[in-house]
């Protein structure tokens, strides 16, 4: 089954070629749908995917050495801040389902990253897609900071 049959391309403005876009992902985390993440209709509540996006994004940034805790990243003057976030829902997701929550950097700007997300269910169907802009800012001033060469290298 191709990804094009899973979801309607014209409904996803940030994806030009779904097959090519899907092939660009390599990093993912497993997500087990908890009962508390469902709504009164039995499927995943519309806010829950944003939690999955956050978990995947943090694990991805940790995996490339860009999300440190307890001042482990000495000398790094900035922090990543979510500037916008969107989600497109393509398949219903239910309690106890297992997902692969993929994340990748789609584009790097001077001070920001455009990060894309994709959730695949156990039938290998795309059930969620999303994107968000992360801006690297100085925590004292709130002003954007340029991404360092080291960051750019780690995120490629």
114-136 pLDDT, tens digit per residue, is 999 999 999 999 999 999 999 99
- Which domains does the chain possess? 13-155 (3.10.129.10)
CA atoms of 154 and 68, how far apart (whole Å): 14
DSSP string, 124-142: S-EEEEEEEEEEEE-TTT-
pTM: 0.88
User: Among 59, 71, 49, 35, which Cα is nearest to 126's?
Assistant: 49
pLDDT, tens only, 64-111: 887 665 444 445 678 889 999 999 999 999 999 999 999 999 999 999
Instruction: State in Å, rounded, how far the first CA of the chain is from the last one.
Output: 29
């Amino acid at each position: 089954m191709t990804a094009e049959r899973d979801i309607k391309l014209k409904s996803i403005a940030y994806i030009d070629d779904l097959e090519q876009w899907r092939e660009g992902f390599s990093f993912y985390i497993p997500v087990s749908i908890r009962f508390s993440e469902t709504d009164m209709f039995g499927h995943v509540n519309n806010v829950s995917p944003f939690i999955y996006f956050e978990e995947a994004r943090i694990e991805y940034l940790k995996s490339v050495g860009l999300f440190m805790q307890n001042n482990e990243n000495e000398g790094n003057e900035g922090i990543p801040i979510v500037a916008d976030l969107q989600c497109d829902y393509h398949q219903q997701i239910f309690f106890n389902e297992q997902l692969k929550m993929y994340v990748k950097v789609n584009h790097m700007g001077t001070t920001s990253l455009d990060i894309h997300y994709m959730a695949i269910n156990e039938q290998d169907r795309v059930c969620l897609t999303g994107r968000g802009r992360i801006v690297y800012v100085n925590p004292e001033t709130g002003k954007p900071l340029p991404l360092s060469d080291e960051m750019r290298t780690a995120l490629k």
